[in-house]
Structure 1
Amino acid sequence: MSVAAELRGVRVRYGLLEALHGVDLACPAGAVTVLLGRNGSGRSTALRTLAGTVRPTAGQVLWDGRDVAGLDAYRRARQGLALVPAERGVFGSLTVAENLALSEAAGTGGDRRGIEAYFPELTGMLDRRAGTLSGGQQQMVAIGRALLAGPRLLLLDEPGRGLAPAVVARLHRRLFEHAAEGRTVVLAEQTLPRTLAAATVVHVLHRGRLAFTGEPTELRTALP
């Protein structure tokens, strides 16, 4: 299986604090990869480094075999990368419909009706300003906008935060469908839910280092 995105020997520093200590991390193409670890493990930093919102102090960031460490985040987005941050990236002053339309106009992932099929909870909220929604509702809008863009590489940081278990299960099914279409999905979680047990690869990060890489069935004792 080919590798779509990869960190090689990546170090990331925030001031005096080094958050990633020479991490090697590969994400197979057309598959779902899960990054696991407790808060402070480096999961979010790894995603942001792949997305380009954080620059590494050392190492390579590869996408489709090309080093993109020096490529701005907006340029990566134009080339088919989408990041859904844990803090729910929505435009609060815009309506739900307007938020979705930002990607709908430029993307190839489908129209608004496709998103409502997975998030029917949004159907009656299209005219509401996103900033007035609950945290979980904003999360659905942010994920919906990313899916509408039809990204080749989709990065999600704890996408199930604030969502009901049934909604999370529905979302995970959609992510596996997204991967089956030839796209690559990488998501960060604290623990591995049963609905992600079919993931191709699981990486466990601990205090900025890679502690485990393997299949979900090999995970049992991986978390420190």
Structure 2
Amino acid sequence: MTVEAALSAARVRYGPLEALHGVDLAFPAGAVTVLLGRNGSGRTSVLHALAGVVRLSAGRVVWRGRDVTALGVHRRVRLGLTLVPAERAVFASLTVAEHLDLGGAPAGEALALFPELTALLPRPAGTLSGGQQQLVAVARALTTRPGLLLLDEPDRGLAPAVAARLHAHLLGTAAGEDRAVVLTARSLPRGLAGAAVVHVLHRGEVTFSGEPSELRIRPTGPRRPDRPAPWR
């Protein structure tokens, strides 16, 4: 499987705190990769390092065989990268219709996937609920058809049926359009059991890498014996 992007010995620091401790991760092309972990595990820092939102204190970011460590966010976006953060991913004053227009593709594509947005088209995004805002941000990102799509907890606040539809779409378009999709979650959604690979992070380190089916037979990191594993 071809590697679309990778982190090599990546370290990320926020002041005196180190969020990633020399992480090595590879993200295949034409597939979905899921980053699992609790808050503070380093999942979001991985996405931000790939997107250029944070600079590495050590290590490299490689995309399509090119070292892009020194490239800023805007240059990576122009190369075909899109990041949807978990919060504040919309422009409050723009309407839903205006957000979808930003993607450069007909809004009908997004509305076909998420018909829930149709009634919201004239409303400013700032008046929407958190889940509705997340849906708008994800829909806009999908219309840009990025080569590397980074989604931070994309199903946060979404109804289960909408989240399942999103997961199915991501799996289908990643394979069909040869995109790389990297998303974070606290536990593995059932709809993403077909993901190519899962990486589990714990306190800035990778504690497991493998296929989703392996999660049921292999531990993912330190946990109290009286608590269920985080993927169940």
TM-score (norm 2): 0.93
1:85 partnered with 2:74: no
Q: Secondary structure at the match of 2:126?
A: helix
The match for 1:107 is none
Code of the aligned partner of 2:212: P
Q: Secondary structure at the match of 1:219?
A: helix
Identity over aligned pairs, percent: 65
1:66-85 aligned at under 5 Å gives the runs 66-85=66-85
Code of the aligned partner of 1:130: A
Deviation per CA, 1:110-167: give whole Å up to 9, x if none: 4211101111111011110000000010001100110111100000000000000000
1:76-155 aligned at under 5 Å gives the runs 76-104=76-104, 110-155=105-150
Q: Which stretch of structure 1 is more off in the superposition, 212-221 or 51-60?
A: 212-221
Runs of 4+ in 1 over 6 A off after TM superposition: none
Code of the aligned partner of 1:124: A
The match for 2:166 is 171
Q: Secondary structure at the match of 1:144?
A: helix
Q: Which residue, out of 194, 198, 202, partners 1:206?
A: 202
1:216 partnered with 2:212: yes
Write the distance in 2 (CA, Å) between the matches of 1:97 and 1:54. 31
Code of the aligned partner of 1:209: E
Compute the RMSD of aligned alpha carbons.
0.8
Q: Secondary structure at the match of 1:18?
A: strand
**Which consecutive unaligned segments of at least 5 residues does structure 2 have?**
222-232
Code of the aligned partner of 2:6: E
Code of the aligned partner of 1:51: A
- Asked if the contact 1:11/1:20 (under 8 Å) is kept, the reply is yes
Write the distance in 1 (CA, Å) between the matches of 2:163 and 2:21. 32
- Asked if the contact 1:204/1:222 (under 8 Å) is kept, the reply is no
Code of the aligned partner of 1:174: H
Write the distance in 1 (CA, Å) between the matches of 2:173 and 2:51. 18
The match for 1:192 is 188
Code of the aligned partner of 1:20: L
- Asked if the contact 1:36/1:188 (under 8 Å) is kept, the reply is yes
Write the distance in 1 (CA, Å) between the matches of 2:11 and 2:219. 22
Q: Which residue, out of 178, 182, 190, partners 1:182?
A: 178
Displacement after TM superposition at 1:223 (Å) = 2.4
Write the distance in 2 (CA, Å) between the matches of 1:157 and 1:201. 16
Q: Secondary structure at the match of 1:204?
A: strand
Q: Secondary structure at the match of 1:121?
A: helix
Write the distance in 2 (CA, Å) between the matches of 1:203 and 1:87. 22
1:12-31 aligned at under 5 Å gives the runs 12-31=12-31
- Asked if the contact 1:88/1:142 (under 8 Å) is kept, the reply is no
Write the distance in 1 (CA, Å) between the matches of 2:2 and 2:112. 31
Deviation per CA, 1:16-42: give whole Å up to 9, x if none: 000000000000011000000111000
Q: Which stretch of structure 1 is more off in the superposition, 5-14 or 173-182?
A: 173-182
TM-score (norm 1): 0.96
**Which consecutive unaligned segments of at least 5 residues does structure 1 have?**
105-109
